[in-house]
Chain A
């Protein structure tokens, strides 16, 4: 059923999500992500899905949590201010191990900032926006085609590891329009349901996420954001239950990092000059590397969990490392963990909807 469509990143997400089996969408209007909602309102009912416009982002995130527990693959889309409102719900989803996909089409913040202008300032918030120790997965596409492909991947990760996945997309990609091949999903992860004596919130091997029951199918299900044992019973006093739960939630992600973490290398793989980037800054970086030659582009697809060993391996023997970002410097902290900060050159630019141009990167590369 391969189709060639002329789509914006936002629209590509809708078709990708539907092809990934998403059948529930709840959202709230916010620039620059509203097009996802408009198309979902049209397309979801056609495939038997449910579209609901919520009264705010708090309602939207909690609706998709409810829908996910009722058995549907669910997602929402928003932008900075709405993403801030959703944090409580995302924390709850991490704690209750609810598979969700949250699309954050990034605009320039903080606060209402510049609603129509692209930025990459939500990177740290996507990872750490909630209180408490919590780990989820963050993925960033680089083109509308990738928005389509990676949203399918995002649903697969969410279902496989019972974790909310934040799909971090720049406004440039959300509103950028290109040919997108709707090739369908290669494989779809099917949610594992528990047998009679399998606990829904615990497993012997922390690397294997527990199976997820479905509300209303006869399973005895207790779901709570308070600390709970493997059967869902609340324990808000004991040390062991809490420690066991939060470590398992962490290990579930970090011990599977080899499967989750993805990145791509462009340009000259043996070059000592390296550009590390994600999202919309990748294309100017690749272009710059091609023009000047002798440069490797290390492009991160998974932004969290970040495989620091892999990053260190890729950066070993590097001469100059350039980190272009549409913010005041967030990814650079990760690079600095594995490479001396004094040798990293940053290009920071944010606001006004101005991209980082290849020429700027070339200037820094050759300086």
Chain B
């Protein structure tokens, strides 16, 4: 086998491979959304630079990088407390090539609201040197499903123009794998331990994207890093709409889900293939629309994989594979099917 080399990315001579995003005052226009991988590699720089200390195999930086490829110009990132925040800003460095503000755990949406409202005021009075400044908020599942939900709901109701990207690794990974509102049923966590009596978490996963749909905001979508074109397109749509947009991105976590570091993308793919995490988008005009692989599964149900495919590669579910727990696995399958069937009923582009 030939010696592996890093991909040759054409970088202009004398120019650093990675640099801060700087937009001269008065900068006009829009960064193009490039979907061709080669052009993307040649022409785009992510807003999250290398050298961060997120774990090997973590999907969160993949989501952030893909999202930043879809930014359309000057962008301010608001970050809730979480893995992403602590691991991308290791003293004395930062991985962020764009302005970045971190507040406490529960108030990323509120902080984003303030930033957005101030930008709006500056623009109104002619003091903003750009056509548009976008606000993108990154929050984890703890900071979105649980403690930050009040702030998110309030901001959505007030109609601030931001994009909220939830990277959902389905537990409090930063503080030691405690259950969250995003943890699926039967998953092991440190606060929903698996024992003889209790098989992991006993409650369902909060349908956060559907809750955001219920806020009737202009754009809601789900995404995974495995379906990267889909994710980038959705991020761009979310940035372009006027008003709040919300993207729920599944982010496999090898530490918390107990899987190999090389499996993050594969597991995200299986999450969609088993319909555990269907891909869709919602706007008030179109209603629910399935996208990418989930649309293919809706058209051809034989593509749908059993939930074992998702469960078998994760240590947090290993108790479900024991023969005595077959009943639980069946229950889990029923739960997934119920959510999927419900979505099929609602999706406008699902074959009826």
Chain B associates with chain A: yes
* A interface list, Cβ under 8 A from B: 28-31, 34-35, 37-38, 41-42, 45, 51, 53, 55-57, 81, 85, 111-112, 115
Contacts of B181 in A (CB 8 A): 55
Given A38-B176, A55-B181; A81-B105 close (CB under 8 Å) = yes
- The reply to whether the CB of B191 lies closer than 8 angstroms to some CB of chain A is yes
* B interface list, Cβ under 8 A from A: 81, 86, 102, 104-106, 142, 145-147, 149, 172, 174-176, 178-179, 181, 190-193, 195, 197-198
Question: Do A31 and B191 have beta carbons less than 8 Å apart?
Answer: no
Question: Do A29 and B176 have beta carbons less than 8 Å apart?
Answer: yes
Question: Do B178 and A112 have beta carbons less than 8 Å apart?
Answer: no
CA distance A85 to B104 in the complex (A): 11
A355 to chain B minimum Cβ distance, whole angstroms, is 20
Question: Do A29 and B178 have beta carbons less than 8 Å apart?
Answer: yes
CA distance A55 to B81 in the complex (A): 15
Question: Do B175 and A56 have beta carbons less than 8 Å apart?
Answer: no
Contact with B176, one of A34, A42, A56, A57 (Cβ below 8 angstroms): A34
A54 to chain B minimum Cβ distance, whole angstroms, is 8
Question: Do B179 and A30 have beta carbons less than 8 Å apart?
Answer: no
Q: How many A-B residue pairs have CB under 8 A?
A: 55
Question: Do A56 and B192 have beta carbons less than 8 Å apart?
Answer: no
Question: Do A53 and B105 have beta carbons less than 8 Å apart?
Answer: no
Contact with B198, one of A34, A38, A45 (Cβ below 8 angstroms): A45
Contact with B106, one of A29, A56, A111 (Cβ below 8 angstroms): A56
CA distance A29 to B147 in the complex (A): 11
Question: Do A111 and B175 have beta carbons less than 8 Å apart?
Answer: no
CA distance A28 to B176 in the complex (A): 12
Contacts of B190 in A (CB 8 A): 34, 37-38, 41
Contacts of A28 in B (CB 8 A): 146-147
Q: A29-B178, A56-B106 are in contact. List 10 more A-B contacts (CB 8 A).
A: A29-B175, A29-B191, A34-B175, A34-B176, A35-B176, A37-B191, A55-B146, A55-B149, A85-B106, A112-B102
Contacts of B174 in A (CB 8 A): 31
Q: Output the nearest chain B residue to A39 by Cβ-Cβ distance.
A: B190
Question: Do B198 and A29 have beta carbons less than 8 Å apart?
Answer: no
CA distance A311 to B172 in the complex (A): 44
CA distance A111 to B191 in the complex (A): 25
Question: Do B104 and A111 have beta carbons less than 8 Å apart?
Answer: yes
